[in-house]
Chains A and B, each alone.
Chain A
Amino acid sequence: MMDLVYPVVLTIMALCIIACLVYAAMGRRFTDKIVAANLVCTFTVNIICVLAAYKLEDYVLDIAFLFALLSFLSVQILCRVVVLHHKGRLRHLKEKHPEESAQEILDRLEREEEDRHR
């Protein structure tokens, strides 16, 4: 019975990963892509765990453990980069247009982002 269940579970998870890649390509904002990366990492860790039980290779679990830690680190770094990029952009606009108020600079940044998404 388990010879049937393991391949079914692995196939479902692989299809989930493909759906995540579609979502990453379709997502409008950059944070959408980070969410997709986080989901892909979760599915991959689960796939490695199931494979370790399917193939009876226990040492594969250590790789899954490493993968979980690395996925956590990658999401943290990506979030940090996104926030720093946003803050740098704000600062650049403030230096470029010193006469404008904070609200006007925010509006300008919003317009820039809309143009980029168009």
Chain B
Amino acid sequence: MIRTVIGAALLLAGCLVFIISLIGVFRFRYVLNRIHAASLSDTLGTLLVIAGLIVLKGFCFTSLKYLLMLVVLWITAPVATNRIGKAEATTNLSIHDEYEVEK
């Protein structure tokens, strides 16, 4: 019973993080600010959701698969965000009006 409650709470916390990151994506003005909010759901939201599923499932082969999923997402998502930031910094010509960029 207590495992179910903890798992459900983690799942709902993950959903809350998703909603907060979406609010951030809509509130910020520029892309480099927006990827900061978007990467929140990539890492923290996914961690909470998958941790909730692992707690619900208990220790078995499926939970190991969930763990592998988390590892893959944690490796790939920040790299993808970094690439988006690089592409934005390369292609945006008015970047010095929008942010303070170190030369």
Residues of chain A whose beta carbon lies under 8 Å from any beta carbon of chain B: 1-2, 5, 8-9, 12-13, 16, 19-20, 23, 29-32, 34-35, 38-39, 42-43, 45-46, 49-50, 52-53, 58, 61-62, 64-65, 68-69, 71-72, 75-76, 79, 82-83, 86, 106, 109-110, 113
Contacts and interface: CB of A to CB of B under 8 A. Distances in A.
Interface of B: 4-5, 7-8, 11-12, 14-15, 18-19, 22, 25-26, 31, 34-35, 38, 41-42, 45-46, 49-50, 53, 56-57, 61-62, 65-66, 68-69, 72-73, 76-77, 79-81, 83-84, 86-88, 90-94
A29 B18 contact: no
Contacts, number: 139
Nearest to A65: B69
Contacts of A71: 76, 80
B19, B61, B65, B83: most-surrounded residue (chain A CB, <10 A): B83
Contacts of B69: 45, 49, 61, 64-65, 68
7 contacts: A19-B26, A31-B84, A31-B87, A39-B25, A42-B46, A69-B76, A113-B93
Contacts of B31: 29, 31-32, 35
Nearest to B61: A58
Nearest to B70: A49
Contacts of B66: 49, 61
Given A12-B18, A53-B57, A83-B90, 5 more contacts: A5-B8, A8-B15, A31-B84, A75-B80, A79-B86
